[in-house]
């Protein structure tokens, strides 16, 4: 569904187009341009790309009000990483997008099988204007098993930034988010080149 931007909401980006995320802007696009012997990289500029974390498994949270998105994904046998920058038509819409994820963490049940459950949880993160650290984890008999994902989501102005890693995680730990948090800090330092930060 197309989003019409009022002239007052338009802003300049380094590509010269209002609300655009220029090629090469994301941190891992250079790596994605190289051949990998161990996994596969992909880059998408689809505005309706699914958010890299989805506690409800259906649809996609944080979809309303988007004007641009860029996603880099790496997939290997036991490792998956995603980097995503999404621009919204206002800071309020971006804040609503992050609120959508928070609500999904509360209202959406764990994915159950006869022996296991895959659960999401989130904690606030002091990053950007607001942030969220999300864990997805496989459990069996109430104990964490190998397998999960760790995602850092942060907002600055009308931009939502996400860094996700999936793989053979054990029980959730704060240190699981170190790499994603570092990447988010790096992106936040330049996101105002394309986002409305004031």
- Grade residue 18 by pLDDT with cuts at 50, 70 and 90: low
Give the residue ranges of DSSP H helices in the chain: 29-32, 91-107, 178-188
pLDDT at 11: 36
pLDDT at 173: 86
Question: Across the strands, what pairs with 8?
Answer: none
Whether 82 and 71 have beta carbons less than 8 Å apart is answered as: yes
* Predicted confidence (pLDDT) per residue in 19-48, tens digit: 789 999 999 999 999 988 889 999 999 999
**Phi (first) and psi of residue 37, to 5 degrees:** -85, -15
Cα(88)–Cα(197) distance, rounded to whole angstroms? 12
Whether 46 and 52 have beta carbons less than 8 Å apart is answered as: no
pLDDT at 2 over 80: no
pLDDT at 7: 30
Average of pLDDT values for 49-71?
A: 93
DSSP tag of 100: H
Q: Which residue has the higher pLDDT, 98 or 170?
A: 98
Instruction: Using the Cα atoms of residue 143, residue 149, residue 155 and residue 158 in order, give the sign of their dihedral.
Output: negative
**Phi (first) and psi of residue 9, to 5 degrees:** -95, -10
Cα(82)–Cα(113) distance, rounded to whole angstroms? 26
What percent of the chain shows pLDDT beyond 70?
A: 91
How many Å separate Cα 130 from the centre of its chain?
A: 14
* Predicted confidence (pLDDT) per residue in 108-141, tens digit: 988 888 889 999 999 999 999 999 999 999 999 8
pLDDT, mean over the chain: 89
What percent of the chain shows pLDDT beyond 90?
A: 73
Q: Which residue has the higher pLDDT, 198 or 82?
A: 82
User: Which CATH number is associated with domain 38-170?
Assistant: 3.40.1000.70
* Gyration radius (Cα) of the chain, Å: 17
pTM of the entire structure? 0.88
Whether 105 and 57 have beta carbons less than 8 Å apart is answered as: no
C-alpha dist (Å) from residue 135 to 52, 93, 130, 168, 174: 12, 24, 17, 13, 10
Instruction: Please state the domain extents for the chain.
Output: 38-170
């Amino acid at each position: 569904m197309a989003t019409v931007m009022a002239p007052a909401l338009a802003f300049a980006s380094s590509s010269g187009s209002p609300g655009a995320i220029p090629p090469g802007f994301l941190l891992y696009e250079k790596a994605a341009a190289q051949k990998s012997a161990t996994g596969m990289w992909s880059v998408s500029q689809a505005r309706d790309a699914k958010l890299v974390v989805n506690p409800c498994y259906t649809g996609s949270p944080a979809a309303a009000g988007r004007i641009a998105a860029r996603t880099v994904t790496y997939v290997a046998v036991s490792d998956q990483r995603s980097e995503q920058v999404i621009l919204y038509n206002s800071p309020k819409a971006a804040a609503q997008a992050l609120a959508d994820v928070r609500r999904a963490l509360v209202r959406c049940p764990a994915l159950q099988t006869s022996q296991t459950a895959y659960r999401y949880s989130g904690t606030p993160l002091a990053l950007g204007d607001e942030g969220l650290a999300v864990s997805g984890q496989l459990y069996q008999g109430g104990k964490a098993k190998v397998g999960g994902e760790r995602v850092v989501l942060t907002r600055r102005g009308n931009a939502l930034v996400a860094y996700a890693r999936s793989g053979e995680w054990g029980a959730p730990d704060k240190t699981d988010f170190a790499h994603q948090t570092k990447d988010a800090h790096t992106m936040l330092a330049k996101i105002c080149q394309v986002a409305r930060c004031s």
